[in-house]
Structure 1
Amino acid sequence: MSENPETQPARTVAETAQTVTLFTQPEHSNSLGNVHGGVVLKLCDECGGIIAARHARRPAVTITVDSVHFHRPVLLGRLLLVHGHITWVGRTSMEVELRVETEDLLTGEVTHTNSAYFVYVALDEERRPTPVPRLLLQNEEERRRFAQGEARQRARLARS
């Protein structure tokens, strides 16, 4: 039987935040000589999956890629950094905000290249959705992001 989310300890945004990195190489390139978008998406999903599993303390699977914005190309030879954190949690699902940056290791220049929201569901031992801990919001910015995540969730449900 799944645990009641009210009895699980709430987690803070900071407790589950994560950064995943990749030094981009020629095997990551597309036909234009930039990093292939699929490489960026895979790294986003890995980062988001770590965050969701860390929050739920259970396996978590991707159920929605809500939005991905490609602001700038990711150039080869740069360090690719995916920073993520939980923005909203429901009964069994969690929204993760991801910010992708590149760093030129020779100059130190950091460029914001992508933004995304992924949604994950925690699974129990039978691979069924299971309740997740509440999110302990610690400041006004986290409360604002939670409210925005709640609005995005309502929009996702309206589309389905």
Structure 2
Amino acid sequence: MDKIFKSNKESEIILTELMLPSHSNFSGKIHGGFILSLMDKAAFASASKFSGLYCVTASVNRVDFLNPIEVGELVTMRARVNYVGNTSMVVGIRVESQNIQTGKVKHCNSSYFSMVAKDENGNSKQVPGLIIANKNDMRRFLRSIKRLKMRHERDHEFSADNFNPENYREDLDKYNIKFEI
């Protein structure tokens, strides 16, 4: 059987939703948790569209909320597969809000969701390969590789078996902490 390759354009999802008062927190801004839920839906849709399989969220790389989202704004999420492994994909999501009255658009956050494809029995399943069609595709793919490598190195360095507090005491001197160990 020949390996299947797909373009990340085949994974593109654009999700737009009006922000309602029921989505807001006590300060009148849209709840970050609500936005994360929408991002998870976009990541699921993008990964499932690309793989043709049911996908689950394995992890979410950092989410920095850059600008608040107001009630009454339109929020648009653009999701696309940036990286594929054997059974996993990294979906990049860009979140923007638009003031309907002024037309002003703000970048609210970007994040990366690691998704795993599953078969009908819940077992991980092979995903198509990714076609790298331009410099941006290559940059995003390589950025994902670097992020994954850094995560594995950090996990190894700070695992219970490898961690030695004495290696870090001097690094921690400039922080607002008091050692009691």
Same fold (TM over 0.5): yes
Query: Which protein has the bigger strand share?
Result: 1
**Corresponding residue for 2:146?**
151
Deviation string 1:48-74 (CA, Å, 9 cap, x unpaired) is 100000111000000001111100111
TM normalised by structure 1 equals 0.92
TM normalised by structure 2 equals 0.82
- 1 CA distance for matches of 2:116 and 2:134? 25
CA RMSD of aligned residues (A): 1.2
Percentage of identical aligned residues: 34
Q: CA deviation at 1:157?
A: 3.0
Deviation string 1:16-51 (CA, Å, 9 cap, x unpaired) is 111111100110000110000011000100001000
Q: CA deviation at 1:13?
A: 1.1
Q: CA deviation at 1:8?
A: 4.0
Instruction: Count matched residues.
Output: 155
Q: Which runs of 5+ in 2 are unaligned?
A: 156-181
Moved over 2 A (4+): 155-160
Are 2:75 and 1:80 equivalent residues in the alignment? Answer: yes
Which structure has the larger Rg? 2
State which of 47, 55, 60 in structure 2 corresponds to 1:60: 55
One-letter code of the match for 1:58? L
One-letter code of the match for 2:89? M
Q: Which has the higher contact order (CA 8 A, sep 6+)?
A: 1
- 2 CA distance for matches of 1:31 and 1:153? 36
Are 2:113 and 1:118 equivalent residues in the alignment? Answer: yes
- 2 CA distance for matches of 1:129 and 1:157? 20
Are 2:68 and 1:51 equivalent residues in the alignment? Answer: no
The SS at the match of 1:69 is: coil
Are 2:60 and 1:69 equivalent residues in the alignment? Answer: no
Q: CA deviation at 1:130?
A: 1.0
The SS at the match of 1:67 is: coil
One-letter code of the match for 1:55? F
